[in-house]
Amino acid sequence: MTEPVPVIRKLEHALADDDFAWSLMLVGEDQADKLATLTADLRGPFSATGDSKRITSGFSYWGIAPTIAWANATNDPFYLVMKAGTESFLRHWRKLRPHVDNGGFHLVSLGVGTGVKDRTILSDLRRHNRHMYYIPVDMSSEMLRMGTLEPVRGARFPVSQVLPVQLDFSIDDNMDELAQMLARLVGDEPILFTLTGNTLANFESDDELLGTLTRVLRPQDRLLLEVASTTRLDQETADAAADEYHQTRAFAEFVTSALRYNTDLKISNDLVKFIGEVEDDDALLVKILWQNDTGEEIRMELPDHTEVVLPVGDTIRLYTTRKYSTTRLKRLTEACRLTPVEAIQSQFRYTRRPNPFGLELLLLAPEAAGETANTLADDIWAT
């Protein structure tokens, strides 16, 4: 009697010459649990400041309607952080690339986005490791399917070396499980983890998220981090940061899509507020929230068919984002014992007057790597 062939190996051969749009995906979480979490998040008590009922970061992209809304927003030329990030990424990446050129890295993309940046990285890394794996990780299976098309079709990366993983990577236990799976998959070979597109800024507790991610880094691994930045920290600049997001209708459609998709609330964009503030004296925080300014009580049906009463003035936090100062980035990375190997900064140049906003792309190593001299880190944070 012959030994049975593992189903994954059989699937690889079965799909090799099939041009139907199959997607293979490793699902790490019970989706019913995620729906229960979202429902609970929308039951909070009254808050006039967007600090109770909320759509947390991963849920903003969860489901086909939010995914389509996100794809539409990425093509809006008025969505400046997205537009500038896409346009500048290749130029910035080329300056960091020599640090990972010859390492034989695999790529783990945390928050896959449109896949355009992954396509660029994969094209370069694969020249030095033809057998590398590409593991995009996202809470949204729909985002994974959309985001992996660009690297697979655009960069012709072999689909047999792609392993999309549906997982909420902001949860400690999930990252532990992912790290164990990756160790079994690649052994001691190095991994480049990426968190691009200002994703870190979208989590309410950015320090906790960065700690969760970096806790699993091994000395041979690296983290590529891309964030929006600011050179000024005052209320006028915070208001300007909020206005930057307010000026794009496609972005407003995206941030409200998760609420539209999962409840029966009728949403007027006139009730969506963009509020900027200085956070902890070292970052600008933008809160985007829906507020009941209708003058009368509203009832909202949740995914479990129960109702929540929304009194006059009550709010639902739709989205959180930030612009970081160098001081904040230094504080975050030092708390996680990360050392900057290289950092590239650029400022937005679409206005005639100097603009405080820009982007930073950092290549970071865990402290245990012991590769980077402290003087280099000091030089980077001194800029």
Name the band, by pLDDT with cuts 50, 70 and 90, for residue 373: very low
Locate all alpha helices (DSSP H) within 79-171, ordered by sequence: 80-96, 116-125, 141-149
What average pLDDT does range 48-66 have in this prediction?
92
Q: Name residue 275's beta-bridge partners.
A: 287
Q: What percent of the chain has pLDDT over 70?
A: 93
**Side chain identity at residue 306, one-letter code:** T
**Most confidently predicted of 176-180, 244-248, 265-269:** 176-180
In this structure, the number of other CB atoms found within 10 A of the CB of residue 284 comes to 30
> Average pLDDT, whole number, for the chain?
90
3-state DSSP of 151-213? HHHHCCCCHHHECCEECCCCCHHHHHHHHHHHHHHHCCCCEEEEECCCHHHHCCCHHHHHHHH
Burial (0-12, 13-18, 19+ Cβ within 10 Å), 41: middle
Using DSSP, state whether 217 is helix, strand or coil: coil
What average pLDDT does range 244-257 have in this prediction?
91
In this model, does residue 380 exceed pLDDT 70? no
pLDDT at 226: 96
pLDDT in tens, 98-146: 999 888 999 999 998 889 999 999 999 999 999 999 999 999 999 999 9
Distances (CA, A) of 48 to 268, 274, 285, 287, 317: 18, 13, 17, 12, 10
In this structure, the number of other CB atoms found within 10 A of the CB of residue 271 comes to 18
- How far is residue 339's CA from residue 362's CA, in Å, rounded to a whole number? 10
Four-point Cα dihedral 43, 46, 51, 57, nearest 10: 20
Beta strands in the chain (DSSP E): 26-27, 106-110, 134-138, 165-166, 191-195, 222-230, 272-279, 283-291, 298-301, 307-310, 315-324, 338-347, 357-366
Report residue 196 CA to chain centroid gap: 6
Name the band, by pLDDT with cuts 50, 70 and 90, for residue 88: confident
**Structural domains in the chain plus CATH codes:** 24-33+64-232+324-381 (3.40.50.150), 233-322 (no CATH)
Which residue in the block uniquely carries the two structure tokens 């990252």? 175
Q: Which of 211, 175, 226 is nearest to 336 (CA)?
A: 211
Instruction: Evaluate if pTM is beyond 0.85.
Output: yes
In this model, does residue 374 exceed pLDDT 90? no
In this model, does residue 81 exceed pLDDT 90? no
Given a contact cutoff of 8 angstroms between Cβ atoms, the answer to whether 288 and 255 are in contact is yes
In this model, does residue 359 exceed pLDDT 60? yes
